[in-house]
Structure 1
Amino acid sequence: MFTELYPMSKEISEKVDKLINDFVVSEGDFTEGIISLEEMTHLYLLKQLSRNLKKKVIVPVYYYKVLVEEEVNKSTLAFHAEHALMRVTSVWEHLFQILNTFLEINMSPRRVKETDEKWLIEKKSITIKKNISFKKYAKVSNQYLTRTSFLSNVKKKFIADPILREIVNLSNKPHWKKIREYRNDIIHHKFIGQSEFILDASHDNYIIQIENKAEEFFDYRELTVHLLAGLDDIKDGLEKSFLMLKQDLTPNKKLSSREDYFLLKIKCACDEKVKLVPDSAKELDDKLIKSKNEFRGIFCPKCFSDNVEIIEDKQKVSQKTWADNFNAYYYDKTPVYLEKKINDLNK
């Protein structure tokens, strides 16, 4: 039975290997000067998803495709059709779990189970907490992440754009609706090729349907077309996700106060690296200089010196990056700068 369910030959192996090797997800390049621990964490998760996609999703899909071409027996095709469907339909929610936290939508990706030890990755650090309730440590959203809830939140919170909006649209193409119909039928109703099953039931009656040669009549080639189109969408969605993170292309929120966001480029004698600070600091800096104040609105976020050079060109960034930079600059770094400046003035 095992050899019947898993037919293998040199020809089958070579065909599957070629398809796998031809499936390459481009991870793109970084934009200059913008990367954070949060982005690196989510990029790592994307890389992990990409690796799992190649190991655990495209292998059963391509194996099924080759078996259809080889015209193996229908029981074997039905078995591998179900395997491929289960694998491919899981990918979008795995991707949306990653984008969910990166975009700060923050729906709970799963029901939290208590364990004795957890690794918790935060924006600023990676810590380990022992014997602590996750719910006490971090507020858990009462909204659980699903494909539909993620799509709804993206459309509600972010403006339409060619990256994020296209990612969610890819997951909702007509062939995905068909793929999910197959998958739901398997989980909730019957296996592919099952010949006898309960068709309907009421409080006092039920109908059992008998389909002779159901395995023979199932359209395995049509399913192959849907699965391959689905893999193309997943590849495109992953590549767009890498692009969004690495090129800082997160769309603005609908409640955004402006259309474009910029960071000032500055240089400091502490090193040759260009630093980025909120453009809003320039107005404060000009006012302080005009009033001949000892303090400045612009300082180096590394050494906290205010003896810096402002480079004329600004760097356009996403609203998310600007807000993260703004919060870090004013809430984390400005108190340190003020303390250092006061100490310097009192010397």
Structure 2
Amino acid sequence: MFIRDLDEGIKCTLMKFADDTKLSGEVDALEGRTTVREDLDRLEGWASKNLTNFNKDRWKWWSPKHWTFLRFGWSGAEPSCLNCAFDKKVGPNDRSNLDLITDLKENLSHHFKEVMLGLMYPPASYDAHELWHALKGADTEEKCLIDILASRSNAEIFQMKEAYLMQYNNDLQQDISSETSGHFRDTLVNLAQGTRMEGYADPSTAAQDAMILWEACQQKTGEHKNMLQMILCNKSYQQLWMVFQEFQNISGQDIVDAINECYDGYFQELLVAIVLCVRDKPSYFAYRLYNAIHDFGFHNRTVIRILIARSEIDLMNIRRRYKERYGKSLFHDIKHFASGHYESALLAICAGDAEDY
């Protein structure tokens, strides 16, 4: 078989051998992904024209988020395996993705497998996946619920609930109600409604809202707790910035310090997370990553979840806040605590500046 015309029109790197042809391409944007897929289509067209197929048993891949390597072998009998299914914009229930997910589950293990499988989900589906396991696992993972629900916008929450219903045929708010309790549950359910006002602020009511928060921290009755969570869950970020400043003026105390003094448990952690996310989400997630890496002996699930969930949103800013606040880069700390393919996958997601290496 002559393969001299195999690379016609190919834009990626192609190494041609009759029994072991390699196609590789760097993928750090949608354009790069499209280029790889178009080249795979060209190879499939070439194979069809020459009455041959790619050998499914001979292909291998490596894709820690930002680059993909595909290896193919030739066969006249085996079916083509040109289903480049690594596409975070395609849902996990897509047929081609299911094939790849099955292969990943069968051939990878431990935390490296968690990372690779996590990368297969679109953002809303990944949030739904994490919430399902946080609620329905052996033990409820309250910190996962806090991280996700305290930080998502109305649109993200709506998409997350749709994905949750589609993937698990369950209502997210009902599952939260059945698996959690008390004011912690009420606040999570409120957040899961996705009804926060957006882009609206009324300076004339900021002092009144601040007074309600101050009274809630002083009296701590059930009614005051409800009023506290209603303000934090439903007022716009712009309004809450003014409310927090008025709270400082009224009480002489930062609202985070007041919440920590007056409340405890997961309810307190959730309220603080909401405040910190209102102020600066990248700083909040930098703080959570640092705790997961240093205070909990490298809590793998938290590190994986945050890196994947924020990778297409604000991970660059999280990296910046991490280094500003803790003196060492996130890249450095991951490299210090993780190892092997798992380390390589996390570092590929995290990326890094020259000085971080």
Report the TM-score when normalising by structure 1.
0.23
Report the TM-score when normalising by structure 2.
0.23
Greater length-normalized contact order (CA 8 Å, ≥ 6 residues apart): 1
* Structure with the higher helix share, 1 or 2: 2
